[in-house]
Amino acid sequence: MTDASHERGPEHGAEAAAPEPLPALRGNAALVPVDSTEARALVAVIAILAFLAALSACAAELVAAASAQWRSRIAQEMTIQVRPVSGRDMETDVRRSAELARATRGIAEARPMPKGEAERLLEPWLGAGLDLSDIPVPHLIVLKLDPAAPIDAEALKAKLAAEVPSASLDDHALWVARLSTMARAIVGVAVAVVVLVFAATGLAVAFATRGAVAANREVVDVLHFVGADDAFIAREFQRRFFRMGLKGGAVGGALALGFIALCAFLVAGWRGSATRDQIEALFGAFDIGWQGYASVILVAAFVAGMTGVVSRMTVRHFLQNLAGRPAR
């Protein structure tokens, strides 16, 4: 009896020892550790890439919103520019140009721009504190258009040419075209950056997954020995990497929102400065609205989902090549 038990002991012991790695799938020691140095490094990489993607998405949303605001404002305004000409009284020309504009159908208001306000528009190019009294700076008249009545711009141009030769009407069509082109270019670059960041995230996850599978080669072999198929093993990796991707995406998205809020706070502190005017002209008031928050959430969710899918596909491909057979 004892001899028989002794003879069967090694075989029985081998059978009992084989399933020992399985409890690792149920407890805190998972098949794919999430608290290891490699896992934390991967989460950090995903967070950085998600931050860049979310920041690019927010920048695209800010520029698109600012561009729409520019076009809306410019479409409601025109400008009369009165140049200083020798032998003509500037104030008389400005006053007469404003009178002609007010008498034109489709113009709700004609406001001569004060000299100080016009000089302030030149500060980004000429600097602040300059004495422009000796420089022949043109005077501007801002025209507010009446949305209920179309303006006859050609008739106004003819009147100005006849009575105030130094005045010219600008309908801002050229500026609208340039601003639209610039905004589309910036949005296109931001979208390209997001796509490249997603591609880099996928590559990082693929390499990290292959390393994790190789590091857990013995556990994978035991799972195959007890009957686990490739789909089960791939799901385990997918579940763990999805959690890491979700954590990294959430951290990166939160950092992007914090950075946008910090920029808004800093710009708000530059009150009355030309720098603030230029920044707000490009990005607005850094109010991303619900579209910006939605884009950040979508970026984080896409990063998490892509991390899980890429890890699953990488594991299946690795196991198929490892065994030289189709994945089960």
Please return the burial class of 262, using the count of CB atoms within 10 Å of its CB with bins 0-12, 13-18 and 19+.
Answer: exposed
- Token code pair at residue 14: 């081998």
- The string of pLDDT tens digits covering residues 26-42 is 444 455 655 677 778 88
* Residue 207, pLDDT above cutoff 70: yes
Query: Are 191 and 64 a contacting pair, CB within 8 Å?
Result: no
pTM: 0.65
Give the mean model confidence (pLDDT) for residues 177-202.
Answer: 87
Task: Please tell me whether residue 145 adopts helix, strand or coil conformation.
Answer: strand
Torsion angle of C-alpha atoms 81, 84, 90, 95, degrees rounded to 10: -10
Q: Tokens 């000089």 belong to which residue?
A: 119
Distance CA 213, CA 306 (A): 18
Query: Are 25 and 233 a contacting pair, CB within 8 Å?
Result: no
Distance CA 153, CA 158 (A): 9
Strands 107-112 and 139-145: antiparallel
In angstroms, the Cα distances linking 28 to 25, 230, 240 are 8, 22, 12
Residue that wins the pLDDT comparison between 116 and 84: 84
Strand partners, 141: 80, 112
Q: By mean pLDDT, which of 132-146, 191-205, 244-258 is the weakest?
A: 132-146
Distance CA 102, CA 200 (A): 59
Distance CA 249, CA 44 (A): 10
pLDDT at residue 51, rounded to an integer:
92
Query: Are 82 and 164 a contacting pair, CB within 8 Å?
Result: yes
- The string of pLDDT tens digits covering residues 296-306 is 888 888 998 88
Looking at residue 241, its amino acid is: F
Distance of CA 4 to the CA centre of its chain: 73
* Residue 48, pLDDT above cutoff 90: yes
Distance CA 81, CA 167 (A): 5
- Give the end-to-end CA distance of the chain in Å, rounded to a whole number: 43
